[in-house]
Structures are given as structure tokens and as C-alpha cells.
Structure 1
Amino acid sequence: MPLFDDTQTAFESKSDADLKKAHTLFKLIANPTLTKLGTIMFKIPFAADLPLVKPIVRRTIYSQFVGGETTAECLKVAKDLYQYGVSSIMDYSVEGQESEEEFDRVKDEILRLVKIAKENPKEIPFVVFKPTAFGRIDLYEKMGKNLPMTEDEKQKWQSIRDRFDEVCKAGFDNDVTMMIDAEESWMQDAADDLADEMMKKYNINRCIVCNTLQMYRHDRLAYLKKMFQKAEAENYLLGFKVVRGAYMEKERARAEAENYPSPIQPDKASTDRDYNAALEFITQNHHRISLFAGTHNEDSCQLLTELMQKHNIENGNHKIWFGQLFGMSDNISFKLGNMGYNIAKYLPYGPIKEVMPYLIRRAQENTSVAGQTGRELSLIEKEIKRRKGK
């Protein structure tokens, strides 16, 4: 049997009722028209602050993809997952902040997560944050492009640097790895520079700060190799979460509208090639680079297990992690956990209203990623059939 076809292990934690609910939800997501209509319908009542839709959302898409509204609810889910060898990354999935007060509030929440991770190191091995959760995207863009800033903007940029440093120092002091998400390409240069600054400062004895590479960008493999040469020369450790990417349509549309070359690979095969090449490069150089392979691609996960064997890296080596989103690809996560690999689910939490942008993106991505929803459905149906045949 292929490695990730083991539905008994994949859905061991799910009741029959859980499986049926997931089956219904993925059936709905599989229909692009329904997904688009649902996205519009969800936005209207939430914008008007009408509570009637909340129970529907909570019982469906929210319960499938989100750990809860609070850290306490989320931690309970994380502890349940860890019974099956699957760790979690509690992800405060609130987006769209604009004020300095909101940025400080998110920073304080990240610091609270560091304390939770320290107290629960096996269940919560990482803390994650988005650069734009700490400051406005236009400031990252200006900084990355060396554009002039007003005095007020300079002060706000310094506040961004201070927030980065405060949470990364907290990670260092508490021995918790901080994972920095990647975002849109036009702001990423400044975020990369900050991540590198933090890695050089805090990645002394082990990887405390981990940046993210989106391999649907055609320049990321070269960037990875350049950063390796820099870290070798300056003698500090690197950490990278490697993903395919999440902003493809937006990136291409902006490049076309503003008449600059698209940063996105010409086709999916090129993305897959560079993704797998990054896995190969990092495992070859795992003395210097720690890896979090965030992917729902079964071929890439299989490849990484083979690369680990090739380079004599034991299954539970702390420098190599696999990761998937909560509510998706349990056939990968639970199987790898069962085999002793390091595996963590991205476990979002937050108030339903504030997490809606994340949920809408999840539904849209499931619709747009070829074969993903169909694969989820086929595995669920296989397990339902297996249970009936007992």
C-alpha cells in the first residue's frame, strides 16, 4: 500500500460523525460556484455584525479548519492531536490590522503563545507570526525598495523592528522556535532582511528563528543558496519553512497591472521542481539549516523521507519537520507521526468574525488546488467504507 493511503491511521482520531461532517464539507468546497456564493454570503452578515450565521460557520468550516476561539480551546485540540504523535503550531489567525495599538496587541498575543509553548514543548514546538501583523505593508515595501520615508514612517518602522526583536528574544530566552510567515513579494525583501537579522542574532546554538520560502517564486532557490553562503561565512544557523505559496493570483494580477515581470514560476512543474530541490539542498546541509517542510503534496513528503534516509538523518531529528494545515491531509500528518517523524499541524485560533478572512482563503485554496479536495473526499470515503466493512 502506498505510504499515504493508510486511512485507518489517518482517521483514527475521528468518530463516524466527524467523518460524515468532513465529507459533507469537502463536497460543498469541491463546488466552485457554491464556494464563491458562500464566500459572498458569509461576508455580508459578518460585515453587518449579524450573529445568526455564527452557529452555522462554527459547526462547519470553522470546526474543520480552526482550533477554537481561545488559546485554551486551541490547546485542548493540540493535546488531543499529540496523543497520535502530531504536534501543533497555534496560529493567531487575525488579519488586516492597521493601527499601532493593534500591532502591539498582536505582539503581546505572540508573547503569550511563547509562554504556552514553553509550558507545552512537545505539543507546541513553534510559535508563528506574520510580518504584517507587526506593521503596515506599505512600510515593508518602502523599506525593501529603499524609498524615502517620513520621520513618522521611520519611527513606525523602528517599532516593527522592535516587535520582531522582542518576540524573537522571547523565543531565545524560552527555547521556543519562532516561525516567520512569508507574504506578498513586494513587501518580502524587508521582511527577509529582518528575519536574517534575527537569525544572525539568535540562531547561535540551535535554530530559534525560522523564515519562510515560497517556492512558487522563481527566485527563492537562488535566495536559499545565497543565504546559506552568508550563514556559512558569518557562522550562524538558518531555519526555513519551505512552502509552495499562497498569493499566486494576486501576484500575477499586480505584476500585470503595474507592468513588471511576474515573480511567479511559469508553471506548477517549475514550482514542484524548485520545492523538491530546496528539500534536497537543505537535507544536504542540515548541519547549518533546519527545515520545516510545509506541504500537502504527498510526493514531496515521500521524497523528504527518502532524502532523510539518504543523508543519514533519523526520523525524529529535531532539525527536520513536516507540516500541514489543521483539517487537511490527515493521511500525511497522522501517518508520519505514527512513523516517528516530527510533524506539526498549523492550528489557527481566534474569534469567528476575525478569522473569516483566513477561512475564506482556505475554502478558495481548496477549490483552486488541483485534486486536493478530491483527494480528501476519496480518503474519507475509503475510511467510511472500511469501517462499514468491519
Structure 2
Amino acid sequence: MSWRGLPTAIIWISRRECAGGVRKIHTSNRKTAATASIGTLPGVVAKPKSYSSNSSITPLSILPTPNVLRTYLIASVTASPLLLRGCFAVLNRLLESKSTIIDVDRNPILRQIFKQTLYAQFCAGETKEEVRRTTSAMKSVGFDGIILEYALELLLDEKATNAVDPEVTKSEIATWKQGMTDSVDMTDSGEFVGLKWSGLGTEALRLLRGGQLPSPAMEQAIHEICDHAAAKNVKLLPSAEEESTNIGIDRWTQALQKKYNRDRSKGAILYNTYQAYLTSCPGKLARGLAEAEQEGYTLGVKLVRGAYMSSEPRSNIWSSKEETDKAYDELTESLIRRKYLGRLQPHDGSEGHAFPNVSIMLATHNQTSVRKAQEIRNELATKGEQLGELAYAQLYGMADEIGCQLVQNSKAAKRERETIGVQLDMPRTFKLVAWGTTKQCLHFLYRRARENQDAIARTKETKQAMWEELVRRMKALVVK
């Protein structure tokens, strides 16, 4: 078959799948580097495939062809600097224009185009029912759940952060609280809700930058959300923010962890984010560990590389990407082994410190870091050592070759345990996904894309993986 006929054949495969006519198109004896992507349309529930001990099924094969094709097309755009700049220009125009014609909420044609492309790839839904369908679709293929984040963001005017309007502050707090309440309501026990402390509004941002505690009204709203989450065993996962807010964020989070992370059987309810690209990260983590050990609570650690390199002072960041990678991997190993190693040393420099109970979220799109973490966890598991709470996360619609590989690893580890008694780590994998109206999500995606341009540009691996999977399915169809 000519490669020119590939698009037509892919459409034919997709129709066969939707009609239930293709039974074995996702399986093949040919090994491939192709991996997976998730980006399920609300309402499209992908059926999990069976895994036998002699199967050479590829991670990507758990997903429907339309999802693979959409990811390939979007990755083709994001992998091209020229096309990516054009995409940013279009998104910016859609956001700034007051015209009804190019308003995604008021133009039904434009809304449908956006809803079936970028929205379907990166967002969970506009309603609770759509979000639940998306969550069910993810779980049906093997993911452990979601990290749900409300897409409505308060657009803060830098000049306005010095002025305080009590009525505006009250409205901003109420908006944040309602979004968080709805997010917790839609999240199942053991899953996560993402949040931004600066989302509480202009006054909150001013307090964070000054290293001050939240106002009484903010504190009341925060505790109501934490109480609601703790009652459901829903974990709260703050996003990374600019370094200028970190002192304030640490003060807010530390006080909350002391209250809500006491129950060791549930692990951490509230996490804090540690950005490995900052040279201050090992010291910050050491202080957090020391405080948790002294106060007797579980430290919730969300470890990321970082998303604000373009805005941070260069002196705050490691000298090279290799140094950042090394820092991330060393901190990961220390946390998993529950030992002070490499860059991570006891806060006061003394020896013999006990390591506190830690709940870990490795939020990374780096395949090497994930592989190293898995190797350490499997080493400890085979030795019969107790494994602490750990989960992996990637953005919904991105780096899914990593997520689906972890899903496959978990299924394989479970099979090994049940058949021959080999103890291996069963990784838990989550996807961070926004929910909200099309316009809200458009703002959210644009701002997140601006913050994560480096990560978005590194999608060539995903593009290649999607292409290999599409070709594999074509060949399987021809052979059949």
C-alpha cells in the first residue's frame, strides 16, 4: 500500500473501530518504539485491552485510533517552532478580540472546531457529567485517575497588586472557593485536585510576595476546602509559581500540612511543590523534611523541574540542563529510598536524622527520570522493603508515551505478582487536566503554553511515537 493512502486508511480504521468491526488491529508481534497518548473526547470511552503474559502489545495500543491521530497532528504543530508561533498568535487573537465572529463561546462553528481539537486533547469537559465521562475513559485504559484543575484563572493586573478593593477581594475569594469546591466534588477518593494559591486573587498575590500569612477571609476559605478534601480523601496539589511567591507559599502550606497530614494511613492531603531547576530546591526540601520529622506529619512532595525559567533570575537556576536533571534524579532517589543522599542533606548538617513519612508526586515529562525512579522502586520491592506512597503525573494530552508505558508496567507487575509471585512496583499514574467552558479553557491553555514553551517544544518524541503507532496499525490491517 502507498503511504499516500495512509490518511484515508486511517479514517477507515477509525470507522471500523467505532462500529466494532476491528478486533485485532491494536495487537501485533512486531515490537516498536511507539508509545501512547491520552486525549479522550468527552463521551468516548476506550475499552481496556487484555494483557497476556506472552503479549508484545504496545502501550499506545490501548487507545482508539482517532485519539492517536489527533495527538499526532497536534504534536506535528507543537514540534515545529514556526507553526507553534503561529498557533500562539491565533490563540492570542481569539482571546483579545471582542468580535462575536471569533468568540469561541458565541460562534457555534468556531466553538465546535475548538471543542473537537485543542479542547478534546487537553481538557476534561464543561460539565460534571462530561468530566466524569472523561475520567471513566482514562480509568478504563488503566490510568489511576486525574488531577483536576479548574480552568478559570483570575487575570491579575501587575499594577493593581498594590491596591486593595475589599469587594473585589471578596469576589475573587468566592470564585476560587466555588471552583475548588466543584473540583473536589468531581474527584474520587485517592485522586488529586490541582490549585494555585495566587488564584485567590490580587490581594493573595500581594501577601504571597510579601511572605505574609493569608487574610482571615482567605484562611477560612482555604480551611473549608481542605476540610472538604480531607473528608473525601482527595489530595490537594498546588501548582508551581514564581520564585517571588515561594516564601509565602511555604508559610501557607507548612501550617496546613501540620493540620491535615497527620493521618499516616491516608498519606498527605496537602502537598507542596519543589522546583528542581532552582539551586535552592535541595535546601528547601531539607527544611520541609526536618519540619515534618519534628512535628510528626507526612510531608507531601510534588517534585517538578520547573516552568518559569524565562522569568527567573539566572543566578537562581542550575548552570545547565544536565545539572537540573541530576538534581531532579538525586532528590527523587533520596525521597524513594528515604535517605539523605547527594544534594539532599539534613537541614542542620548533623548526622543520624530520621527520615519522615513522605508522599511523593513525580510530575515529569522526562522519560529517563521516570525509568530511574522505577528501577529504584523495583529494586526495593524485590528486596521486600516497604514502598512509600508515590505517583506519577503528566499533563493531559502531553508526554503520553510515558504515561501509557507506566500503565503497561503496572499491569505487567500485577500479572507477575499473580502468576509467579515476583514482587515489582505497580506504578500509579495520573493526568493533570483542566475543566471549564471553552473560553475559560482557552485562557488556561494559552497561559500554560506560555509558561511551558520548553516542554511543548520537546514533542518530537510524541510525534514520532504517534506516527509509528499509526503505521503499525496500518500494517496490521494489511496483514489481516
TMscore range, shorter length: 0.7 to 0.9
How far is the alpha carbon of 1:316 from its aligned partner? 11
How far is the alpha carbon of 1:322 from its aligned partner? 0.6
After superposition, the Cα gap between the structure-2 partners of 1:299 and 1:371, relative to the gap in structure 1 and judged at 3 Å, is farther
How far is the alpha carbon of 1:198 from its aligned partner? 0.6
The letter for the 2-side match of 1:48 is S
How far is the alpha carbon of 1:243 from its aligned partner? 0.7
Counterpart of 1:290?
359
- Which of 6, 20, 24 is the aligned partner of 2:69? 20
Counterpart of 2:192?
126
Counterpart of 2:344?
none
TM-score normalised per structure 1: 0.86
Q: What SS does structure 1 have at the residue aligned with 2:237?
A: strand
What is the rounded CA distance, in whole Å, between the counterparts of 1:45 and 1:323 in structure 2?
Answer: 30
Contact 2:435 2:441 in 1 (8 A): yes
| 2:177 maps to 1:107 | yes
Correspondence 1:89-238 to 2 at 5 A: 89-97=147-155, 99-100=168-169, 101-117=171-187, 120-121=188-189, 125-136=191-202, 138-144=205-211, 157-205=215-263, 206-238=267-299
| 2:330 maps to 1:277 | yes
Counterpart of 2:78?
29
The letter for the 2-side match of 1:203 is N
The letter for the 1-side match of 2:320 is D
Q: What SS does structure 2 have at the residue aligned with 1:249?
A: coil
After superposition, the Cα gap between the structure-2 partners of 1:302 and 1:72, relative to the gap in structure 1 and judged at 3 Å, is same
Q: What SS does structure 1 have at the residue aligned with 2:316?
A: coil
Contact 1:10 1:330 in 2 (8 A): no
| 2:146 maps to 1:82 | no
Contact 2:240 2:307 in 1 (8 A): no
What is the rounded CA distance, in whole Å, between the counterparts of 2:88 and 2:290 in structure 1?
Answer: 45
After superposition, the Cα gap between the structure-2 partners of 1:163 and 1:366, relative to the gap in structure 1 and judged at 3 Å, is closer
The letter for the 1-side match of 2:469 is E
Contact 1:172 1:208 in 2 (8 A): yes
Q: Which runs of 5+ in 2 are unaligned?
A: 1-29, 37-56, 157-167, 339-354, 411-426
Counterpart of 2:429?
343
After superposition, the Cα gap between the structure-2 partners of 1:342 and 1:4, relative to the gap in structure 1 and judged at 3 Å, is farther
How far is the alpha carbon of 1:365 from its aligned partner? 6.4
What is the rounded CA distance, in whole Å, between the counterparts of 1:387 and 1:275 in structure 2?
Answer: 36
Counterpart of 1:264?
317
Q: What SS does structure 1 have at the residue aligned with 2:120?
A: helix
Counterpart of 2:125?
68
Q: Cα RMSD (Å) of the superposition?
A: 2.7
Counterpart of 1:149?
none
How far is the alpha carbon of 1:386 from its aligned partner? 0.8
Contact 2:78 2:456 in 1 (8 A): no
How far is the alpha carbon of 1:135 from its aligned partner? 3.0
The letter for the 1-side match of 2:364 is T
How far is the alpha carbon of 1:279 from its aligned partner? 0.7
The letter for the 2-side match of 1:382 is E
The structure having more radius of gyration, on CA atoms, is 2
Q: Which runs of 5+ in 1 are unaligned?
A: 147-153, 256-260
What is the rounded CA distance, in whole Å, between the counterparts of 1:43 and 1:367 in structure 2?
Answer: 15
More helix by share: 1
After superposition, the Cα gap between the structure-2 partners of 1:106 and 1:12, relative to the gap in structure 1 and judged at 3 Å, is farther
Q: What SS does structure 2 have at the residue aligned with 1:67?
A: coil
TM-score normalised per structure 2: 0.71
Contact 2:377 2:387 in 1 (8 A): no
What is the rounded CA distance, in whole Å, between the counterparts of 2:459 and 2:82 in structure 1?
Answer: 14
Deviates more, 1:100-109 or 1:3-12: 3-12
Deviates more, 1:264-273 or 1:342-351: 264-273
